[in-house]
Every structure is written in structure tokens, then in C-alpha cells.
């Protein structure tokens, strides 16, 4: 019994040490910094897009949007012109002014 307890506790300690010290905190499209300032980041924007798309009924994760451009495009087309993700989805919008010079 004792021989199993030591490896199990070492595994648990290693898993705990492998977790990030501070997770990224987002408010909408903005990342909250330690000093309280907010900066726009693609990481938070993609997460917010996933939240908005799920509100509309699309089954999508932030990770899928982050790592698959076609999923991001589908989510942007799905939510339409929702103002909360307007900047994030700008490359996928069909406003008619895409070919302006």
C-alpha cells in the first residue's frame, strides 16, 4: 500500500505544478491585466465569439475557433451582424466594401 502512495502523490504534485500559475482573465474581447488595464487580444476575442455563437445555438468551443479558421468563419457567418463580435468577424463580413481601394 505504501509503495503505491508515494508514486501517486508524486503524480498529483506534478499535475498541480503543471497547471498555469495565472489563467488569462477575459472581459468580452479584452484581456484583464494584473494592474486592471484591459487590452484587446485575439485569444479573448475568439473566446467571446464562441460565447456569442453558443448564445445563438451553435455548438462550438473557443479552442475550435482559435485553432481552425474555417470554424471561426462559420461562427462569424452564423452570428451575423452582432455588435459584440463585429471587429472579430470583420474579415468574414460581406458588407460590399471588401474590395475598396
Tens digit of pLDDT for each residue in 48-87? Answer: 999 999 999 999 999 999 999 999 999 999 997 899 999 9
Whether pTM > 0.85 for this model: the answer is no
For 50, residues 6+ apart whose C-beta sits below 8 A from its C-beta are 60, 61, 62, 64, 65, 75
| Other CB atoms within 10 A of residue 1 CB | 4
The confidence score (pLDDT) of residue 53 equals 97
What pLDDT score was predicted for residue 38?
96
Report phi then psi at 48, rounded to 5. Answer: -70, -40
* CB-neighbour burial class of residue 88 (10 A; exposed 0-12, middle 13-18, buried 19+): buried
Domain ranges for the chain, please list them.
Answer: 23-84
pLDDT tens by residue, 3-27:
555 555 555 545 544 445 468 899 9
Amino acid at each position: 500500500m505504501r509503495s503505491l502512495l508515494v508514486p501517486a502523490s508524486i503524480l498529483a504534485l506534478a499535475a498541480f505544478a503543471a497547471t498555469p500559475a495565472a489563467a488569462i482573465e477575459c472581459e468580452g474581447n479584452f484581456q484583464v491585466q494584473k494592474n486592471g488595464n484591459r487590452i484587446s487580444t485575439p485569444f479573448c476575442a475568439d473566446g467571446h465569439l464562441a460565447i456569442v455563437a453558443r448564445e445563438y445555438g451553435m455548438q462550438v468551443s473557443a479552442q475550435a475557433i482559435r485553432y481552425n479558421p474555417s470554424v471561426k468563419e462559420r461562427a462569424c457567418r452564423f452570428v451575423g451582424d452582432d455588435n459584440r463580435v463585429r471587429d472579430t468577424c470583420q474579415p468574414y463580413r460581406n458588407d460590399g466594401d471588401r474590395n475598396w481601394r
